[in-house]
Amino acid sequence: MHSGGGGSIGVAFAQAKSEGRALLIGYLPAGFPTLADSIELVQAMCEGGVDLVEVGLPYSDPLMDGPVIQQAVDQALTNGATPESVLTVVTAVAELGVVPVVMTYWNPIEQFGVENFARELQQAGGVGVITPDLTIEEGKPWISAAVAHNVDPIFLVAPSSTNERIDKICRQTKGFVYAASTMGVTGARDQVSNMAPELVARVRKCTDLPIAVGLGVSNGVQAAEIATYADGVIVGSAFVKAANAGGAKAVAELARELAKGVRHGR
């Protein structure tokens, strides 16, 4: 068994567990549609009941993201979003007493400077970074810098990962393990993959870290279903769609529905 550190991520998951429920994790890109709007949207998300916010770092070549998130990221970039925008949004989340982590492709961290990014994120109140396209082998310098600044490096496992691979990833991940429930790009789906429960069971054999499932969750019913076997439920595209449809009000409503879902799952 490998345990990860990560004060506030660990504390947030422990708090949810003590309440007999899964943790609700929401994603939105920083600077979408504008920086001021994105702060308002994450605040609405938190008020609605999201426990941990994944702040997306807008990047021009988001390979893993589906069309909904890609479009939001393009809009953010068009409106001038930068890595600094992410730090501003992270600070806003931390000030609400909600746990902020960053979701980013590797290239922007490399451009920003590995040490600089870890240090500035910690100063902004960020406690973790999810890097979907970084392998643990290529991630060694980042893992060292992150850990030195009390930032949890969070890696993904997928249904295609071998048990040996999952074990290696669990040794390097801190905070929580991100279990991608489907193959392919992100996006809300009508049905959440049946591969997710099996994947979570395989990850549990390797680690006592919390496991959060992402990719495809769009409503309270699906959130409740995942909450029966996972420690955290991750929602991204559905929040972007809500923001597009009805701004902060719609985002808060979706958060409330999902917050109910993660409580009914147990």
Domains and CATH numbers, the chain: 7-264 (3.20.20.70)
- Any residues with CB less than 8 A from the CB of 131 and at least 6 apart, and which? 104, 105, 106, 109, 139, 142, 153, 154, 155
Higher pLDDT, 180 or 118: 118
Contact 192, 225 (CB under 8 A): yes
**Banded pLDDT at 215 (limits 50, 70, 90):** confident
For residue 186, pLDDT beyond 60 = no
What CA–CA distance (Å, rounded) separates 66 from 62? 9
What CA–CA distance (Å, rounded) separates 126 from 157? 22
Side-chain-side CA neighbours of residue 150 (13 Å)? 11
Q: Which residues are catalytic?
A: 54, 65
The pTM score is 0.93
Instruction: Give the residue-averaged pLDDT of 55-60.
Output: 93
Integer CA distances (angstroms), 7 to 49, 117, 184, in order = 20, 19, 32
Instruction: Give the residue-averaged pLDDT of 2-9.
Output: 54
Give the pLDDT confidence of 98-156 residue by residue, as tens digits: 999 999 999 999 999 999 999 999 999 999 999 999 999 999 999 999 999 999 999 99
Phi, psi of 211, deg, nearest 5: -120, 125
